[in-house]
Structures are given as C-alpha cells and as structure tokens.
A and B are shown apart, each in its own frame.
Chain A
Amino acid sequence: MPQTLSTREANLFRTVIRHYEEKQYKRGLKAAEQILKKNPKHGDTMSMKALIMNSQGKTEEAFALAKEALTIDMKSHICWHVYGILYRQHKNFDEAIKAYKFALKLEPESQQIQRDLAVLQVQIRDYQGYVQSRFAMLKAKPHLRQNWTALAIAYQLEGSLEQAENILTTYEKSMTNVPLKTDQEHSEALLYKNTIIAERGDIQRALEHLESDCKNCLDRLAVMEMRARYLGQLNRKEEAAKAWRALLDRNPEHPEYYKGLIEALEIDEKDEAALKAIYDEYAAKYPRSDAAKRLPLNFLTGDSFKAAAKSYLTNMLDRGVPSVFANLKHLYSDEAKKAAVLALAEEYLKEHKGSEQANGDSSKGVGAALYFLAQHYNYHLSRDLAKAMEYVEQAIELDPKNVDFHMTKARIFKHQGDTAKASEAMDHARRLDTKDRYINSKAAKYQLRNNENEKALETMGLFTRAETVGGPLADLTDMQCMWFLTEDGEAWQRRGNTGLALKRFTTIHNIFDIWQEDQFDFHSFSLRKGQIRAYVDMIRWEDSIREHPFYFRAALDAVKLYLDMFEKQQAAANGTNGTGEATNGDDAAEKKKAAKKARKEAQKAEREAAEKAAKQDPNKATAKKDEEPKKKDDDPNGLKLAATTDPLGDAMKFLDNILQFSPKNIEGQIAGFDVYIRRKKYLLALRCLNAAQALNPEHPRVKEQYAELQKAVESLDDAVSVKVKEVLKAKFSS
C-alpha cells in the first residue's frame, strides 16, 4: 500500500519538485532523502528522486528506482508520469507514450500529462492520437483560442482539411468582440485558415476569404502573394497582372513575380521582344535591380542575346562585381551562349588593355576581365586549365594582393589534381585577409582535401571560440559545422583512419538527431506565438529532414566505409591471398601497411588527447555546479566504432535513412545493393537493383550488380525459401 505523508513531509515533497524544476538537483535529492528516511516506500518521492538522478546523468539507477516506485505504487499517476518522462528523455517515445497513457487513465483531469502526451504524439507523427489529445484539451479549456487552433492543426496534419477549417470557423463564430487590428494571433489564424481553404483546392473561396477576412492581416507580403497566385490560378488575368506588379514594386529581385506577371499578360513564351520589354521596364524603374537585367539572358537568343549579354557583362566588369561569372555560368549549357560570353569577355579585355593604370581599383575593368576569363577556363563546361592559369597569373600580376585571384588560382590547382599546391595557394590567399572567415574556411577545406587534417583544424581554430572546452573541434561540433565534419571524415578515410572517419560521419548522423529533436519545444511554443503557417512548414520540412545532401553525403561515406571494412575482414578470415582477383600480393601488403599506419595514428591521437585532457583545469569545466552534466565522449577517436565485428550491421542505421529519404539517388541504391547482397538479403538487394535500374539502366555499376545478383541466384542454397527463389528467378528468366 502506498504511504501517505504527514503535512510537513507533504510540504517537503513540494520543495523536491521545486528544486527539480529549478535544477537544484543536490538540494532536491537531500529533501527527497529526508522524506524517504521516514517513508522508505513512498512511491511518488522515489519517482521524483529517480527523475533527479536521471538529470544528474545516472540513467540506469534512475530507471531502476522509477520501476521500483511503480511496483510499490501502481496507482500513482506521478509514478507513471515520471516513468514516461524518463523514457521520453532517452528518446524511447513509444514507451513514453504508453506510460503517459497509464498516468492519464489514473488522472484523466491532468492538463500536464495530457499536454506531455500530445507533444509526444505530434513529435512521432501519431496524428490520430494527437487529434484525440487536442480534442480532450479543447474540451477542458475551450476558452483558449490556442486550443482551437491546435486541434485544427492536428486535423490538417492528419489530412482532415474540412474538419480543420470547421474548427477554426466554429471558434471565429464564438468570438464576442472584434480583435484588435494588431492582434498577431488573430491575424495569423485567419491566414492559416486561408491556406487550408486553398489546400482543399477551392481557390475561388480562398480568394474571397482572403479579400474579405484577411484584408487587414499583418503579414502584408503573404496576403499580396497569395492573392496574386489565386488570381493567376483563377485566370483573372488583368487583376493578377496588377497584383504581380505590386509585388515587383516591393521586391524586383524575385523571379517568381516576373513569371507570374508574364503569365498574366499572356505573353507568348517565344516572343523574346515582348518578354524582354517587361524586364526592361523594371530595369529602367529599378536601376539597381540585378534580376531584371540578368533574367532575360536565359531566354534571349542570337544577336539579342549578344547585345543583352554585352551590356550586362560590361556593366559588371566595369563595376568589378566578383560574382559575375557565378551569375552567368548556368548559360553555358547552351553552346552558342557559352561561345558568345567568351567572345564578349575577350573583346572587353582587348578594348580595355592598357587602361589598367588609369583605374586605381584592380578588381574593376581589366582585372575583372582577366578574373572572369580565368574562371571561364576553370569551369567544367569550358575547361582549359593552362589558359585559366595564364589569365589568373596575369590578374595576380596586376594585383598581387587580391584574395579572389589567389582563391581562383587554388581552384585551378585543385582541378589539375594537385591538392598540395591547391592547399598551399588557398592558404596564401587566406594570409592576404586574415580577418575574413570565408577565405579561412576555404583554406581549411583545401587542407582537408590534401589530407592535412591537423593543419586544417588549426586553421579553423583561428575563428572558433577560444573558451570552448575541447578546443576547435568541440566548438565546430557544437556549432554543427557540417561541411568541416564531412570533409574531415573523408580525409581521415583517405588516410586509412577508419575510427576517426566513422566518428565524424556518426557525429553528423547524431546532429540530425538533434535537429529532429529541436522541433520538440516548438509544438507548444508556436501555439503561444501564433505563427501557425511557419510551424506547419517546419513540421513538413522536418518530416524529410534526412533527405538533405548534408546527411546523404556523410551517410553514403559511412556505408562505403563499412563495406570496405567488411571486405577486409572477409579477406583476413580467408587468408590474405585466398579470396581472389582483386587482392594481389602488392595490394595486400599496401593495405596492411596503411592499416598499420592508421592504427599508429589513432593510437598517437588518443595518447595526445589523453594528455591534453589531463592538463585541463578540472575547475574550469565544472564552473557551473549542479548543472546537467555534459556527457563525456567515451570514444573520441572512434576506436570502438572501428572495432566492430559486424560492419554491415552497423551500416544499416545509415543505409535505412538513405533508402527511406533519398530513394531517387542512384548512389544510395547502389550502396544498398552492395550491403544487402553481402548480408544475403537477396530480396532487398533486388529491390535496390530495381530502383537503380528505374533511375538509370545504363549505369555501369547497375549492370555489374545485375550480373552479380544473377550469379548469386544461380547458386542459392537451401537456406533461402522456395518463394524467395521464385521471385528472384523471375527477375532473370525473361
């Protein structure tokens, strides 16, 4: 039976909770101990103690104690709630939801438990559960607008747009007084409702609603954009044109507005002159607009292209805009335009040669033209690296201290395949402007490309926070510097340091976990702020966050590395020379040497890290006592990762995400096949092969894999079921 507390101890229990909430963990523990001294079997206190211990990093003890508390007091909603919180903090959301549901059964009126449950449900995208929870919360507190909006969001996410709209309308009808014009929540709720109407496909009604109810909404730009789009969709051309023009007056740098206007004016796509006239109008009205001058280059052809390109290029080179090449290179997929641009740049250079002295700024005029031509010949669609080098040398001669020129020189070296010279040249550029982090980042990147991990980290350290415990790498990890972690991992991989390479790729995987976790607070925060459209956008983006190239690249690197490790383990198991064609004697010796070197490097790095850690002032790290302890990394050099006996199994956490979120990326499917066929998961291998074939049947690796699977199917053993065999054989029977 649960014990009941005396008044004094009940008060003490409340202070336990308060201390916990204020993160005064030691005091909280002390108070809990006091209660438990007299009431050793008080479940609620035991639970609170567990919660505090968990916050102090004592996970296992916390779970054990929370479980014990539950066996003592199964009927306590606090015990269940705490149990749920523990699971939630350790990201076992399913168990957490179960525990919350028990707690809620025992205490159906608890707003807190209901809210915690709701947040978890939306976090794991259990929309049906979320609808139920939000419905209960609305019933409990119908006077709060937030609760109505939240239920509408739940319905929308669940796919019940009609109900979402109805809920919002019901609330609006219940409003007794008209909200202030400046009521942010009201303004956003109206616009949110409008997006739902549009999402339902009823554009006519969306437009009417926008023009009547949203007329005074505070997000002016959104109202104007939605209106222009609706008018366009409804073929109300004249009004649409006017609406797009109003938007262009606000922002003449947004291509969508020009596109909308042109559609509304029903200008024929091929009528270059008429199209050009629109852009010219805005170029004249807004002389500082880049888009109005540059966009016509996309559709103009022949002489009119040449004329427009000439005026654009001349203006840019005169002003010395360093991005002019970046702004034009997309035209190079058109051979005629590529040739024309080159001719124009050469012509410009010829005309201006000799005028260098008159112009003080070397980045303008001749300097700019030389720089442009260097970039032209460095670009993959117009590459001639010798010429590129000639031009960049001329530019440097003109201005030996120009960072951009030296940066391009480094890029040319890179394209020549000379990573050492490229790294050197980029570092030279860096030293010309040590206050600019951009060039610093580039220098570090080029050092990594040249496998100079240590030097690169030093370079990065010039801009990271000096006071971060753990140095530049810790700071870059904290600040989620994806590009560095990826490049550093790839460099370690090339150097044969499997541990550090896996470590970096895993860090990126973990940062994506953090990014996913980051939404958590916003489920309630955004309701308070009232910016619902932005919240829904965020939810949708988070749904596919791991399709981001940042993730894909690191994950693919990791999978390939694990495949490599598997092959090496197989080779070792079969004796180094036994396995076949690829492994000749030299190769094996080479690999052995590389592995030995990697081991040595890893050991050295670990030794150094240990020494460094020992030198660390222990007082500094613990300056703030009683705070959540920062978890110590028990595998800073990835030695544990590298020591795996099941590399293919470890590869799965990366591969699953690749195949789920980037199925249209053929490299991912190819890697998936490689993993699955080695794991003898033939059906899954077949699925990857089919997907890859659908993307590009001519890909050489896909053809190889087809043959590989065919061969495997011919010699299937009895471990494979008859059904599976049938499916596989069907693939190759035709």
Chain B
Amino acid sequence: MDIRVLRPSDIPLIQHANIENLPENYFLKYYLYHALSWPQLSYVAVDVSRPAKSAYDYPKIVGYVLAKMEEEPTDGVQHGHITSLSVMRTHRRLGIAEKLMRQSQQAMVETFGAHYVSLHVRVSNAAAIHLYRDTLGFKTEKTEAKYYADGEDAYCMKLDLSPIREAIQKEQLEENGEKKPEEKGSEGVDEGEAVGDVGRDPEQDKKEDKTVKVKVGRGLGVGELVERDESKH
C-alpha cells in the first residue's frame, strides 16, 4: 500500500473506484475540479504490489479521499469538506480510510487554514459512522432528512481541527523562535467559481431549489459586449 497525494493521472481509476463502490457518482470533471482547486487535500491509496500489465499501466487505486474547501462557508469560517471517501472491499481493515483522512486534515489546516472539516454520511452506514465518530472524533451536528437521492437521511458531522492548528503553531514557535503568528479570519479565501457543470455533488442538487447562478461572460464568449462586472457574481 502506498498512501500519497492525488495526481490528475489517477483520476480515471479514482472515478472507477468510486462508481464500483458507492452510489454517489461524479463526472471526471468534478474530480478535476477538486484536483485543480485544492490539489493538496485529496489522497489515494495505491496497490503497489500489483505487477504492471503493460507499458501503459496506471497504479490501481484501492482507496481515495476526495476533499475540498467550502467555497462560500455560510458560517464565515474557513473549513474543509469531505466530498467522497471510499476503500475497496478487498482492502478493508487495513486502516486505509483513517490514514487517508488524517493526511487530508493535516493539509486542510496547513494549506488553507481550515478550522474544522465537515462531511455527510448515510445514517445506515454503521462502518463509516464508526470510523468518523469513534476513530477520528467527528461529532454529529444534525440530521439532514432525505439528503441522498434514494431518500435516505444523512448525518452531518464535523471535526474540530484546532488540535492540528495548535500543533502546527507550536512547531512554528519552536522552529522560528518567533512570536505566535496572528490569527486571521480570512486566510486562504477562494474567489473562483465552480467550472461548468461539474458532476453531481448531492449538495449541489440540494442547492438547485435556490436560484442557480448561470455562468455568464467568459465561458460563453461575448461577455465583453455587455457592461457586466463579473466580480459581482
């Protein structure tokens, strides 16, 4: 097993692992969107013991965590979100999911200044709930009724990342002998919008009831003809 950060070339086999294991699936572009927006946050577990089948062999992905930063946090607090996590049935009980999660959490704090990480999990998924709550220390925030396409409810769970933040700050203090770096609320702010139609995040579907902002201007070609300030979107 090799646990390492995701590379774009892994994506077809990540997508494969996802659709083989889970009912929530996404277009390749949605994985690209993660990989190109927050390349530090997504990790894969690779089966390194498998011999190459041809000169064009791609490492077999047996587990992955696909993670992001919340672009417009409703609570105004920088935080990460787990879009999808899966480990092949054939590679369970090796602690892979936990290891993937811990790597991602570390990077969320280091690179994007995340304060906490959130996720959704099916209320019936006992194994996953056990991992999140008992192994990783997530707390159940609330239950979202009919969150999944098939009508199942989701637990919305959160993990406070301050232990990681504090450890990093301590490390920096020791290293630099400097004073404590100032806290900032707006660190690592992201301004870009999602690209095109990026697959089917169940969350995105939820949002469809609200007015959907249609991408204008650039994407379509004749934006400059209109006096329209894109930054206002």
Interface residues of A (CB under 8 A from B): 14, 17-18, 20-23, 48, 51, 78, 81-82, 85, 88, 110-113, 115-116, 180-182, 184, 218-222, 250-251, 253-256, 288, 290-291, 294, 319-323, 326-330, 333, 403-404, 435-439, 441, 463, 465-467, 478-483, 514-515, 518-519, 521-522, 524-526, 528-529, 531, 533-535, 537-538, 541-542, 547-550, 552, 661-662, 664-665
Chain A residues with Cβ below 8 Å from B27 are 478-480, 518
11 contacts between A and B (CB under 8 A): A17-B225, A21-B222, A51-B222, A322-B89, A436-B89, A466-B149, A466-B150, A478-B27, A518-B27, A518-B29, A538-B32
Query: In the bound complex, do residue A518 and residue B187 qualify as a contact, i.e. CB atoms below 8 Å apart?
Result: no
Is B93 in contact with chain A by the CB < 8 A criterion?
Answer: yes
Given contacts A253-B2, A521-B195, 9 further A-B contacts (CB under 8 A): A51-B222, A78-B225, A112-B222, A465-B149, A479-B26, A522-B195, A524-B218, A549-B54, A549-B57
Chain A residues with Cβ below 8 Å from B1 are 253, 290-291, 294, 327
Return the 7 tightest CB-CB contacts between A and B, nearest first. Answer: A112-B224, A534-B39, A182-B187, A330-B49, A664-B55, A521-B195, A253-B3
Chain B residues with Cβ below 8 Å from A525 are 36, 192, 195
Chain B residues with Cβ below 8 Å from A526 are 36
Chain B residues with Cβ below 8 Å from A542 are 8
Interface SS of chain A? helix
Chain A residues with Cβ below 8 Å from B196 are 521
Tell me how far the C-beta of A187 lies from the nearest C-beta in chain B, rounded to whole angstroms. 8
**What is the CA–CA distance of A480 and B56 in the complex, to the nearest angstrom?**
21
Tell me how far the C-beta of B106 lies from the nearest C-beta in chain A, rounded to whole angstroms. 7
Query: In the bound complex, do residue A439 and residue B89 qualify as a contact, i.e. CB atoms below 8 Å apart?
Result: yes
Is B216 in contact with chain A by the CB < 8 A criterion?
Answer: yes
Query: In the bound complex, do residue A221 and residue B107 qualify as a contact, i.e. CB atoms below 8 Å apart?
Result: yes
Query: In the bound complex, do residue B40 and residue A322 qualify as a contact, i.e. CB atoms below 8 Å apart?
Result: no
Query: In the bound complex, do residue A322 and residue B36 qualify as a contact, i.e. CB atoms below 8 Å apart?
Result: no
Q: Quick one: CB contact mask for B172-210 with A, threshold 8 Å, 1 for yes? A: 000000000100100110111001100000000000000
Q: Please, which residue of chain B has its CB at the minimum distance from the CB of A662?
A: B56
Q: Please, which residue of chain A has its CB at the minimum distance from the CB of B125?
A: A435
**What is the CA–CA distance of A506 and B2 in the complex, to the nearest angstrom?**
34
**What is the CA–CA distance of A333 and B38 in the complex, to the nearest angstrom?**
40
Query: In the bound complex, do residue A220 and residue B222 qualify as a contact, i.e. CB atoms below 8 Å apart?
Result: no
Q: Quick one: CB contact mask for B9-39 with A, threshold 8 Å, 1 for yes? A: 1001001100111110111110010011111
Query: In the bound complex, do residue A254 and residue B7 qualify as a contact, i.e. CB atoms below 8 Å apart?
Result: no
Given contacts A254-B4, A438-B20, contact A323 B93 (CB under 8 A): yes
Contact of A664 among B56, B88, B150, B220 (CB under 8 A): B56
Query: In the bound complex, do residue B188 and residue A218 qualify as a contact, i.e. CB atoms below 8 Å apart?
Result: yes
Chain B residues with Cβ below 8 Å from A218 are 110-112, 188
**What is the CA–CA distance of A23 and B215 in the complex, to the nearest angstrom?**
10
Query: In the bound complex, do residue A110 and residue B226 qualify as a contact, i.e. CB atoms below 8 Å apart?
Result: no
Query: In the bound complex, do residue B51 and residue A665 qualify as a contact, i.e. CB atoms below 8 Å apart?
Result: no
Query: In the bound complex, do residue B28 and residue A326 qualify as a contact, i.e. CB atoms below 8 Å apart?
Result: no
Tell me how far the C-beta of B56 lies from the nearest C-beta in chain A, rounded to whole angstroms. 5
**What is the CA–CA distance of A526 and B192 in the complex, to the nearest angstrom?**
9
Chain A residues with Cβ below 8 Å from B94 are 290, 321, 323
Tell me how far the C-beta of B95 lies from the nearest C-beta in chain A, rounded to whole angstroms. 6
Contact of B56 among A320, A403, A436, A552 (CB under 8 A): A552
Tell me how far the C-beta of B112 lies from the nearest C-beta in chain A, rounded to whole angstroms. 7
Query: In the bound complex, do residue B3 and residue A220 qualify as a contact, i.e. CB atoms below 8 Å apart?
Result: no
Query: In the bound complex, do residue A515 and residue B150 qualify as a contact, i.e. CB atoms below 8 Å apart?
Result: no
Tell me how far the C-beta of A409 lies from the nearest C-beta in chain B, rounded to whole angstroms. 15
Query: In the bound complex, do residue A435 and residue B124 qualify as a contact, i.e. CB atoms below 8 Å apart?
Result: yes
Chain B residues with Cβ below 8 Å from A323 are 62, 90-94
Query: In the bound complex, do residue A181 and residue B49 qualify as a contact, i.e. CB atoms below 8 Å apart?
Result: no
Is B113 in contact with chain A by the CB < 8 A criterion?
Answer: yes
**What is the CA–CA distance of A403 and B90 in the complex, to the nearest angstrom?**
11
